[in-house]
Amino acid sequence: MTTTMDRTASAGHSAKSPLIEKLNVFTAFGLGIILAVVFYVLAAKLIPEDTDAMLIHTKHDQIILLAMIGWFIGFMVGIGALIGPFRWLLGKDLSHDENMFYAGKDLGTKRYFRYTTDHKVVGIQYLVTTMIIFGVGGILAMLIRTNLGNPEGGWIHPQAYNAIVGIHGIIMIVGTIIMITGPFGNFVMPIMIGARDMAFPRLNALSFWLIVAAIPPILSSFFLGGIMTGWTAYEPLASESPAGMDGYIMFICIFAISTMVAGANITATVVRMRARGMTWNRTPIFIYGVVASVALALPAFPVFFLSQIMSAFDRAMGTTFYNPAGGGSGWLYENLFWLMGHPEVYVILLPAIGALMEMAPVFTRRPLFSFNVAVMGIAGICGLSALVWAHHMYMSGWAPLLNGPFMLTTELISIPTGMLFLVLVGTLWRGRLWLTVPMASIYALLWNFMIGGITGIYLSDVPADGALHGTMFVTAHFHYTLMGAGLTGAVASLSYWFPKMTGRMLDRRLSWVSFWMVQIGFNVAFIGMFLVGLAGQPRRVESYNAMFNRGNMVTTAGAYVIMTGMLILLFAVVDSWRNGIKASDNPWFAKTLEWSVPTPVPLENFATLPVVTTDAYGYGKAKS
Amino acid sequence: MSQETTHAHHEHPDVVGSRNRLGVILIIVADVAMALSILFVYFYLKGQNVNNMWLPTATEEVPATVPVSSMGAFYIAIISAFGMLLNGYALKGAKAKNQSQLTLGAMIAFAMSVIGLVYQIQQMNSAPFTMRMGAYASCYYLIAGLNALHLALTAFISLGNWNRARLGLYKTDHWHVAIIQVWWIWMTVSAALGAFALSFT
Amino acid sequence: MSQTQTQDKAPWWKRKDVKETATLWVILSVLIGGLAGEVIARSMGAPASETMENTIRMMKIFTWVSAPVAGLVGAIALKSLMQKRHYGDTPPAESDHEIANSPKASAVWIVTSGLLCLFALVFGMIVMQEDAKSLQAPNAIHVNVTGQQWLWNFDYPDNAGVRSHDLYLPVDRPVIFNVSAKDVKHSFWIVQMGVKVDANPGYITQTAVTPNKIGVFDVRCAELCGLLHAYMQSQVHVVSQADYDAWIKSQGGRA
């Protein structure tokens, strides 16, 4: 992404430069930290001490939460997120030049460090952020696996261990949620539908910078006693956790706002801004995957947001939403959490599968098999996923009579999932396979997602769940779906769209090495985990009976192989980005619109907007 | 797959308007999910009545929690409804190019949102219980808090609307006012939903 | 898949690649069903109750039912991989055929997966009903289970005052557990008997099981409950009725 700069450094070159040109990531961090400190000091001084008569001590949590709110406000003001709304309020809408400045016109690399509205810049920002998030989550995963290398656990204190497990969980969930809709949904999607930018470019920048604002709170929770609840943050355990829990709460609240903003933005873009002639039948399947994902997240994440707001109130204001002593209920939390939690799984999966379905025709040189079935499958998953949340709660005892109905809806979801399998194998059948990393990823997805899916059938069954719920079996199952299927799709997307995003090819040899190491390591690690789960090892334990030792050793060994493979991929990405082979505009000879624009993609993408006359899958010799 | 057409940099206001309208509706969808979850919280905790602490009876230190009448919450909904009607009046003025009707409607709508906000805060301050006193009290403050948050947002939006109407920015197109009308409708509905929930104690 | 696109006029099921795929399908299905079913049964260990026996049997059957699906996907994928591969920087020639759709194949696929779903559901429901029978048993023993950080308390309400940290149960008699928690959520799980229910503060939940083997089995907490969750373990001693009566007496109850 290098562009010629004829007017470098327009920011801050004179005292008269307007406010919007002064704000960037540094002012954001500066103001955020200042306000956090100010809020902290003021809160510590002004809030009355807890009295002994109070059953729940709240002052400490109030101070921490206020400091984090101070950080949040300071950061968003400092990055310039509020300029747009206030200019609207004052009736001084941004001029064309100002909008162009916001879009990063002629700013060179500086535009990556400010509130830039160009969707391609946001896409790159998301890509780098996602990689950082995976890096942090991966380090935590390696700490967990290393600690579990021997039965005694041992060298990590249980409190630190629980914090590591919880933060690994939540940060990876967030990473996987944004890993495709963030980088590729932002960079590729608007070009793919023939649009000049997203529907709401400023909201696009907002959704990205909200994620940046959310990360310091969750990382700070390591220094505030950690969280001891796992990523689910079940109540009432969360209420008795140390102040690290406040970091978790803040993280989720900010992230939920980001998801909502991104969801509204992406959905509106696809619904309203497709090129002329791009009917729903001609819209690429990847677009369906992305829209289904964000449209599912849109109503799901506010529920999560609310559940965390209530957690915060319980901790800091002494309310009793979840505290049984005051009429609260842990089941309430579980319901709210899983009302978000299950759709969220498909929020992660759908874009990954959509991306691989997009690549399947390109690398088999034949049309996508049964486009309509693919759309039906995605829609079916979306619809059903809102009705299955309580299968996470079969064993909670909240409503034994509802176990049957939820078993029904959960098993029904295997029908639309099966449709996606049909589309993929139907496309492979008698195609000419161009063996590239994306092609191999389709095979990896079929393998991993098949295992993840079938183990899901056991778990969806109430009696089997009686044996398996809360064991490592569940952990292995969702790693197979989220990592084996989801992350595989994301890595495939990276190597598929890397030429368009960076102008260079991802190193072929290294990405093959990485592919095989990650896939083999992954299967070794998590099949080992399945076995200890079946044998009865609970989740989230820092020590276990000696009988599980062998399986855990296998898993730990597999995890180190994954880590090596991921580091190789990281090296390949950095190296190829800087000095890889220059890519042509359409290295895969694909037919979707994003390959029709020059690389690097110019600002506003299309000099003249395209008109679409066919779908994007017109491969194959004869025309029927 | 494609052919190229001629340049089309400047979009028609109606195109921009319909896109923005969809965006706002989608954000409202998210807010609806949250408001409905709040109703779920209210009725779930009421139905469970864990340890009989939905409405705690009097102990030596703490008096019993007495639920407040839901009329206060309905008044908020009525104030919102007035705001909605006035914004609709302003919208009609904008469509008819009647500048004074537009400004007047937008101004009083803004006043309504401020009145509603002040009244809601006053209600929260004068409730006969604190939020620590049982599940009902917690839920009451949750619903009231959602109203207050909505009203604060409404105040910001309708202030901008009034200001922009005053400055004559709606002379050529009026989709801003139309979208704000969508928000006012949801504001009214959500206030009414909260009041509805509070009428079950 | 239901149409022939090449010149040969033979019906689709007589084509060479279809036949090979079918063979591959059968082999893979048998392999998957047999191997996975066996691994599952062995890993889960010796069951100590009928509930667990049912569960293991059911998981084996589910494995056999899903094996053909996995086998078919695997067969098609493998066959495609074996046929025409291409490496290099430029794409291969366009594919020979361009079937973009096959309503018949899709319909068969969807109906079949629907039937398999229905089977899994009905089967699961039946087993669920069977497992729930112990809850209604008239001769059942009641045990009140209370989880707290980080140990289990077992009270025997039929013998007021008897409380233990290890669970003692007579063999072949239904037991009903009334489960609750003092502080945070725990999950009461008897590993080898395949029963589990969460212990929630403020609520009492129930589960029931009939142990059918004498021996010592594991109780573990299956819900993260804070610092020492990993160590929240206990044991179930399943003994003969006579030994059980003796134990109750030794704890101060009337047998």
Task: Kindly provide the b/e burial profile for residues B75-111, where b requires at least 16 CB atoms within 10 angstroms of the residue's own CB.
Answer: bbbbbbbbbbbbbbbbbebbeeeeeebbbbbbbbbbb
Task: Return the structure tokens found at A539.
Answer: 């989740």
Which architecture does CATH list for B38-48+68-198?
Up-down Bundle (1.20)
> What is the Cα–Cα distance from C163 to C157, expressed in whole angstroms?
9
Residues C33 and C130 in one domain: yes
Residues 6+ apart with CB under 8 A from A49: A59
Alpha helix locations (H) across A104-229? 119-147, 158-181, 183-187, 189-192, 201-220
User: Domain for residue C4, yes or no?
Assistant: no
Residues 6+ positions from A137 with CB-CB distance below 8 Å: A168, A171, A172, A175
> Cα–Cα distance between A155 and A244 in angstroms, integer?
21
C115 and C149 inside one domain: no
pLDDT for C98 equals 65
C214 and C155 belong to one structural domain = yes
Range A154-157, long-range pairs (CB < 8 A, 24+ positions): A154/A543, A156/A542
Give residue A432's pLDDT. Answer: 85
C46 and C161 assigned to the same domain: no
Residues C115 and C146 in one domain: no
Q: How far is CA A517 from CA A514, A535, A567, C78, in A?
A: 5, 27, 10, 21
What are the chain B neighbours of A298 within 8 Å (beta carbons)? 26, 29-30, 33
Do residues C85 and A447 touch, judged by C-beta distance below 8 A?
no
The edge-to-edge listing of strands for the beta sheet with C141-148 is C163-164, C151-155, C141-148, C175-181, C205-209
Contact C203 A397 (CB under 8 A): yes
- Total domains in chain C come to 2
Q: CA dist A567 to A368, A564, A571, A573, Å? A: 33, 5, 6, 10
Return the residue of A nearest to B27 by Cα: A264
Smallest CA–CA distance from B52 into chain C, residue: C202
Complex prediction ipTM: 0.93
Distance from CA of A299 to the nearest CA of B (A): 5
C56 and C149 part of one domain:
no
Choose among A153, A432, A469: nearest Cβ to C92: A432
Domain assignment of residue C92, yes or no: no
B23 → closest Cβ in A199, A310, A319: A199
Residues A598, A489, A180, CA angle at the centre, nearest 5°? 60
Whether residue C184 sits in one domain with residue C123: no
* Interface check C182 vs B, CB under 8 A: no
Please determine, for residue B3, whether its predicted confidence score (pLDDT) is greater than 90: no
Amino acid of residue C55? T
How near does any CA of chain C get to the CA of A484, in Å? 16
Listed by number, the residues of chain A in 61-100 with a beta carbon closer than 8 Å to a beta carbon of chain C are none
Q: B52 CB near a chain C CB, below 8 Å?
A: no
Could you tell me if A32 and A72 are in contact, meaning their C-beta atoms sit under 8 angstroms apart?
A: yes
Spans in chain A with pLDDT lower than 50: 1-15, 623-624
Looking at the complex, report in whole angstroms how far the Cα of residue B11 sits from the nearest Cα belonging to chain A.
11
Count of A-B CB contacts under 8 Å: 179
Taking a C-beta distance cutoff of 8 angstroms, is the pair C180, C204 a contact? yes
Interface touch A302/B34, C-beta < 8 Å: yes
User: Chains contacting C with at least 3 CB pairs below 8 Å?
Assistant: A, B
Same domain, C231 and C161: yes
Does one domain contain both C125 and C158? no
**Whole-angstrom Cα distance, residue C77 to residue C75?**
5
Cα–Cα distance measured from residue B183 to residue B28, given in angstroms and rounded to the nearest whole number: 8
Do residues C181 and C163 both lie within one domain?
yes
Distance CA B57, CA B49 (A): 13
Nearest alpha-carbon partner for A2 in A181, A100, A124, A115 = A124
Considering the domain architecture, whether residues C119 and C221 belong to the same structural domain is answered as no
Chain A positions touching C185 (Cβ under 8 A) are: 234, 236-237, 330
Distance from CA of A147 to the nearest CA of B (A): 39
* Whether the Cβ atoms of residue C219 and residue C190 lie closer than 8 Å to each other: yes
Contact assignment for B156 to A89 by CB distance below 8 Å: yes
Chain C interface includes B50 (CB < 8 A): yes
The model carries a pTM of: 0.93
Nearest to B131 among A300, A317, A335 (CB): A317
Q: Strands C205-209 and C175-181: what pairing?
A: antiparallel
Nearest residue in chain B measured CA to CA from A273: B19
Q: Does C98 map to a domain?
A: no
CB spacing of A320 vs B32 below 8 angstroms: no
Task: Name the closest residue on chain A to residue C49, using Cα atoms.
Answer: A467
Residue C173 lies in a domain: yes
> What is the residue range of C73's domain?
12-83+104-135
Distance CA A601, CA A476 (A): 40
- Confidence (pLDDT) at C255: 55
Contacts 24+ apart (CB under 8 A), C29-33: C29/C67, C29/C68, C29/C70, C29/C71, C29/C72, C30/C67, C30/C71, C31/C71, C32/C63, C32/C67, C32/C70, C32/C71, C32/C74, C33/C63, C33/C64, C33/C67, C33/C68
Chain C nearest CA to A31, separation (Å): 36
Minimum Cα–Cα distance from C230: chain A residue = A541
Spell out which residues of chain B touch residue C203, defining contact as CB-CB under 8 Å.
Answer: 50
Q: How far is A569 from chain B (nearest CA, A)?
A: 33
Q: Is residue C27 part of a domain?
A: yes
* Alpha helices by DSSP H, A317-370: 330-364
Angstroms from A602 CA to nearest CA on chain B: 15
Residue C94 lies in a domain: no
| A482/A475 Cα distance (integer angstroms) | 11
* pLDDT at res. C9: 60
Structural domains for chain A: 20-94 (no CATH), 116-596 (1.20.210.10)
Beta bridge partners of C163: C155
C229: CATH: 2.60.40.420
How does pLDDT run across B95-140, given as a tens digit for each residue? 998 999 999 999 999 999 999 999 999 999 999 898 888 899 999 9
Please identify every stretch of chain C with a pLDDT value under 70, giving residue numbers as ranges: 1-9, 96-98, 254-255
Q: Are strands C167-170 and C195-199 parallel, antiparallel or unpaired?
A: unpaired
**Residue tagged 């063979």 (tokens):** C23
In this structure, the answer to whether residues C196 and C246 fall within a common structural domain is yes
Angstrom distance (rounded) from CA A303 to CA B27: 14
Minimum Cα–Cα distance from C114: chain A residue: A415
A577 shares contact with chain C (CB less than 8 Å): no
For residue A624, count CB atoms less than 10 angstroms from its CB and return exposed for 0-12, middle for 13-18, buried for 19 or more. exposed
